[in-house]
Amino acid sequence: MMKISVIQMDIHLGDPDTNYLSAGRLITQAAESDPDVIILPEMWNTGYSLENIRDVADLGGVRTEREIGSLAQKYGINIVAGSVSNISGDKIHNTLLVFDRNGQRVAEYNKIHLFRLMDEHKYLDGGNSLSVFKLDGHLCGGIICYDLRFPELIRSLALKGIEILFVPAQWPYPRLEHWRVLSTARAIENQIFVTACNRVGSVGNNRFFGYSRIVDPWGNIAGELIHEKEDILSVEVDLSEVAKVREAIPVFGDRKPEFYSL
């Protein structure tokens, strides 16, 4: 069993000090229910403050490791620290960071598919590798927001044996049904748990609806926040369901990859 707490938070544009305080407060609140894993949304440290992103982004993930990694150690909880705007050398990435119960950074992933509708590609550099990591002995994968629209990416992670996929996001209206359908489809087709953490709040004309959710390998909704306000969703999931579903419907054994190359 794995208990997961999904933090659905508002994000203050270009104000990392306020956002780190908010994340710390919500992590402390989530820790009261003694989860195994806590997840934050996408780019929670700065939001999409892209025009001045170099001035406000984390440098090498150091601040995130210091503040969020220390909370992981303090509470003895794994934290999928969503993604942060992160400077690495001369590049700026949208980076997912993961900390274990000892506060150690055990994984990072730079978003591969940059979202052109929000000009992400003009200011950020795309990643070039997948993210597979272990939490409490369970194989996990991480993607970020727009990546959810690319089934090949998630299938690649599933073929590496992940049991659960973590998806931090800033997914706005009017694409609520896309968010719900795609997260459910990715769980069903890959026979994995999908934990999808979305932000709330508004920036300009973009309003973010929340609706953070956890979907099981059958496509059932294990838990969902059906509103657009700050909240914490805590759900205990049975990861042994992954093997049971794969035995019941042997999709992976029936694949014909020789026909799939485009």
Catalytic residues: 42, 111, 145
| DSSP code string of 183-227 | HHHHHHHHTSEEEEEE-EEEETTEEEE---EEE-TTS-EEEE--S
143: its two tokens? 């993607």
SS3 of 106, please?
strand
**Apex 27 CA angle, 21 and 32, nearest 5:** 135
The whole-angstrom separation of Cα 161 and Cα 163 is 6
First to last CA, the chain: 39
User: By the 8 A CB rule, do 215 and 194 touch?
Assistant: yes
